[in-house]
Structure 1
């Protein structure tokens, strides 16, 4: 079982909150809200997404890189996966 499956309920709750924040951006744009209000909503959405990413990255490191029972091959694979995702995320 992957670490995301173990934390499924908590992660899905975060995704649902994030969805609500993005929907708030949509509603603000439809209502022609001021740019400052939309920017605040976007900043909150971005912060929520970054928090979710950070949580999953942390779990990945604990489970696939730093766990004491992993082989060196498994650690290298976990680190490689993480670096690939970070490169994609940073683009």
Structure 2
């Protein structure tokens, strides 16, 4: 079973939240909102997508790269920490 199936509900919740942020950004653009509002919404979307990407990458590495090898999982932890900090 894929890790995306196991975490399907939480992933869909995140994606829907991102969709709401994108719709809000679209509405702000349509309403000619101040650029600081538009920039803040765009930055929020970027952060949300990067958080989703970080979660997906970590789950993928755990599930498909190191699932049957505890030593590999231990060695992946520092890599995942770097990925988390990079994707913030």
- Residues 27-42 of structure 1 mapped to structure 2, 5 A cutoff: 27-42=27-42
- Residues 45-64 of structure 1 mapped to structure 2, 5 A cutoff: 45-64=45-64
1:44 deviates by: 0.1
Deviations 1:5-59 (A, max 9, x none): 0000000000000000000100000110011110000000000000000000000
Aligned to 1:54, what secondary structure does the other structure show?
helix
- Give distance in 2, aligned partners of 1:24 and 1:46: 14
Superposed CA RMSD in Å reads 1.3
Divergent runs of 4+, >2 A: none
- Give distance in 2, aligned partners of 1:3 and 1:37: 36
1:66 deviates by: 1.6
Q: Are residues 1:6 and 2:6 paired?
A: yes
Q: Number of aligned residue pairs: give it.
A: 70
- Give distance in 1, aligned partners of 2:20 and 2:33: 17
